[in-house]
Amino acid sequence: MPHADPPLDDAEEDAFLELFNLSFGKAAATLSEMVDAEVSLALPCFALLPRADVARLLRDLYGASIRMVYLPHRFVFDGGEDLPGTAVLLIRATEVTHFLEALYGTPIPEEMAMRVEEEAFRSAADILLYTCISSLSAFFASEIVSDNPVYFKGSPEDLPSHPLIGEGQGDLLLLRFDFKLIEKEVAGSLLTWLDGGHLPSLRAEIARYITRCLG
């Protein structure tokens, strides 16, 4: 749901989307290698979203049961400023088995799928999400500090009090790329949200990126 007052002007938003297009593109290429299939990426969706609306958005998009792995991280810039964020790999619960079969390259019995699901998701997401945020960190010319990836299985309604949402008071800058694994019957999303309370830091880094590109 777009915010009434856009957080970035047109030039800033174009640069912001370019950065994430490049970063998510690298993650998609990595995913394609992992599953030996073509990955189709939809156009990115960008919004400033109240924290209280995250669960409703995820339910509207993905239904009452989801699987996700999220990676909390911070971009640390010269001068000590930082920008907290969370990168997310999300799959509909109904497509979990198809995703596991794509990863393993073979049919997975239901009993085995239940045993390996968390480990497989966590391993895949660790590579994909770190590929994305490390690429973005390089574009920002920043350091990056990340936690271990965390697996979540359940209803979006369980998320408002979950650490995934974070403890800040401001809105979240949400960027979402939907993807499909061609001929694998799998659709999901790569998302990232950044703490809107750190918007001045983000705008400053976007300005530096634009200056470097023009230079």
Domain that holds residue 65: 10-214
- Give CA–CA dist 173/209, Å, rounded: 18
* Residue 94 predicted with pLDDT over 70: yes
The answer as to whether 169 is a domain residue is yes
Residue 168: predicted pLDDT? 56
In the chain, alpha helices (H): 10-35, 54-62, 96-104, 110-140, 199-214
Going by pLDDT thresholds of 50, 70 and 90, the confidence category of residue 4 is very low
Q: Is the model more confident about 1 or about 105?
A: 105
pTM: 0.84
- Note whether residue 136 is domain-resident: yes
Bridge partners of 188, per DSSP, are: 91, 179
- Would 207 be classed as within a structural domain? yes
Q: Identify the H or E element spanning 191.
A: strand 186-195
pLDDT in tens, 179-196: 999 888 888 888 888 887
Q: What is the CATH number of the domain that holds 172?
A: 3.40.1550.10
* pLDDT of 204: 84
pLDDT > 70? residue 163: no
Domains in the chain: how many in total?
Answer: 1
pLDDT at residue 6, as a whole number: 59
Q: Is residue 1 part of a domain?
A: no
